[in-house]
Amino acid sequence: MATPPQSGSLMSTVKAVLWGFLGLRQRGEYEKDIKRLNPLHLVAVGLVMAFIFVGALIALVNWVAG
């Protein structure tokens, strides 16, 4: 009997999204993440991190221009 793939933790999902933002990922690691992580969790974490990134950029521009 094959065991089902273990679900990834929140930290591993965040780590995968951060590597995706940077674009630095080995193919083997990417394939492991695809098998292990929930796609909905990846999308949710990606959207949250994108909002945080945009908010940080807006705050930086306001600080520099202000």
pLDDT in tens, 8-54: 688 888 888 888 888 877 788 878 888 888 889 989 999 999 999 99
pLDDT of 11 reads 87
31-58 b/e with 16+ CB inside 10 Å = b?
A: eebeeebeeebbeebbeeeeeeeeeeee
Is 1 part of any domain?
A: no
Structural contact between residues 46 and 20, judged by C-beta atoms closer than 8 angstroms: yes
Is 21 part of any domain?
A: yes
pLDDT of 1 reads 52
pLDDT of 24 reads 78
13 vs 60, higher pLDDT: 60
Is 46 part of any domain?
A: yes
- The structural domain count of the chain equals 1
Which structural domain, as residue segments, surrounds residue 29? 10-65
Is 50 part of any domain?
A: yes
Is 3 part of any domain?
A: no
Does the pTM surpass 0.75? The reply is no
Is 4 part of any domain?
A: no
Is 58 part of any domain?
A: yes
Is 2 part of any domain?
A: no
pLDDT of 3 reads 47
